[in-house]
Structure 1
């Protein structure tokens, strides 16, 4: 597949590999060499003793005790994250105790950059983080997403012992948590951006919407009138807004007439009505409804062709509710059922009594 794997910590690999091989060898010895086909008590006890030995060696490898302190370290800088990464290996060449470099080269004030593969991995990881943040926060711009990605990488990357020492020192001196401080600064910066963002002057914007947004009519009414209202803004403007019917439980062509068109609010007009035809039938049905939606708002000056809203703020907007609901009340009911008389007097010995029920429409 072209897939490659690499060993990140050799000490973990050696401990795991050594004990895995030893487990199979020991199992073969006790079952085939020492006592073939039989597991003796001393073999079981010795096997049990190997468990704490394995745990202790794993702990030594994790804490880097014993021979690990005699191993020399080498250091490299991560050019993208700006941190020093400690690795195990040969004695570092050209590093002095005062932090100056000898027999090495600088590149733009930094140490020699990491290998190409590691740079590509860091870049791919940052791209993945940005994609995830973009899906979770689609309303944020690229700069905010980059800041969030940097904070995410800082909080999730592997940190050195020096980082935790600095953290502990800051906590004891009351300086606070570095990561929490970074998050607070981000929140403060985001809040300040929202505060300095100028609000749209609502008094200069015309709002277009349905009033009311819910209508009821009988099936035999013929047509229903809907009202579009303009509120606020410059009343001298001419406003065009399109409307279109949409099916709900009622279907166009069977329960109502499909309708689409344009409402024109002329200069000085605050509302406009338009009608939608209702189809009457003789079939009993439940009450049904459909929708009418406003869209494609245009604002024009007098004696000018329609144009889109202009900056710095729109001259008119579609406000809520921009969708009206029309409910058709069915009049083809089965009738009204009543008794013929409110009170009926009969003899106790009649046996069977007949009562008349009347149906009226």
Structure 2
């Protein structure tokens, strides 16, 4: 971090110093070089562990901030819904990117301030080196991490295309600034534009995310456990039942729900889990291969048991149905063709059909009779119809016969009247063969007073149906009154209200037909299982566009233009007690997946134990315990940071950021001390040790995300955005500040002494950034990045995804990227050595 000239001593030499180190001053400078190299390297590695641990706390705060939800009124659903305050893409490119790259960005800013606003090579070189390791090294690890044959792809390709383009453009822009416009000097407008590319990237990525450049991306479901409601829990339970089958017991539902609730994890969760594994800290629930394997095995076992039970039940059920069907087929069954008929008063003699099914090889004699009722609507014997009885003979092979009833016509207007025809008995002529009567053993006959086509209306204007854990079919009855002449039709369709077609019910759009004399018809609607706690949802079934002279009953909902039936879907009353039981047992366990703590004292207790608790320490391995002991001083220091529950996580955010800055100062001084002791430049130290040390937690986090996440976005999809943000913030911000500072201040005596050769080129002074080494490093990385994206595009085209595939192809792709990274390191060091 110390800018040296020929006259200035190095940081490790007598008279040299950094911001805080060396603590021993000139006495330390006299130590043997071998001892200094060993101690500085050990200290640098230990500080990498420390900055990773405080970054864990910082990312916990970011997870808390970005997971905040609020309730808003949905005009579409006509109810309050819960939405996330932070858009996922915006969160990833701002706070999440800052969280994973905070050491590199702060190193660059601190280097500027610590060097009296002169530029240094450590910060900028670390950012370029970190970008190379992230894009080439981490991507190579993720490609080769998947099991043989498994393929995962980036889901949000539009966002990835934008961030990928910016990630290459950002470094080419650095090259343009350093070489093209004003060599070795950054002007204020260059710094400002570099910084403004950051909000431009965020805006463009957000526009792509919400569908302004094409189709709208489906929002990602991300339920925060501490904010889950009983309604959300009920819906999740229904999903689990569909996945695992039937109505599992509460223990199984609880275990499956905890698995489902953790499926969508943010980038912060994977990063924190990786750091805690490195430091022997509290495990993040579900983020390890063992847990994943156990859950997958449990899911497979449950699915297998359900399949076996289902198969067994189906076998028994099918056997029962088969026997019942065979028994039924043996008998000859008779019934009316419809349970409701209508006839005109002037018809004279009306005929009504009786059908037969089953065994048709025998003759069957059917006894029938008419009857009336005592109510005003009932037709009267001798006045409206003639009471009759008789028999119908079904000959062998016959399946249809008719009975005939005389209807009496008069000149007096009267409402529709009805009487009944019933089958009394069915007798088979053949011995040993039974005859039976079906469900339609009685038919209602409506005598219509005139020749009108009729009025249509629903049997009920509001129908309530209780949801089930299985899909169910309901029949909605449409009645035809005051006439039944001719064939009439109308359109039947559903309309969303709070219930939505496809999710809550099956969409209906069909033609409803009434044959001459037909008095009722049925519309079948599918009711989907969704999982409701107490809520009710509604949709409408609408009749419109009648033909054949039919009209709608103007006294019903919809008036004379249409006919409306409201269907209300009620929550399953049997479901509520189970939801309450599971909610009460889950509630105390929400904290097990929370990244932060609610109480300050808990942080110190967690820091003291390996695995975060006394119980977990007993189950920890000796290696985890060693890591815990090594990281214990850092854990106790960073336990001073306020918990994430204070001020919505923002207090933890800013204090953790300040602590990252403190550790970064030490890392910067140690890196310069190490490089000075080894007699290598800051650039070589930055692109190797510092870049790898700050990026190591991201490597483990990305590998875990590649194995456990459904898509590749959480593993490599965020690398491009992070690399872009590093340039726009980590370089754009300090360069903008430095350029403006020297543009206002002008060349001081110190500036003139520091850059005597540049006085003739830039007499008005300016912010000097030596392009030697850095520009070459940026150019090499840009070329390697283009090849890397070509590899990813080729993998998507030929293998179907950026990650995984056959093992030989994984090793080839990963090997190519690893060689590119080695090439970048080798060429950068070679060029730097040539110039120094």
User: Which TM bucket (shorter chain)?
Assistant: 0.3 to 0.5
Higher relative contact order (CA 8 A, sep 6+): 2
Q: Which structure has greater helix proportion? A: 2
TM-score normalised according to structure 1 size: 0.33
Q: Which structure has greater strand proportion? A: 1
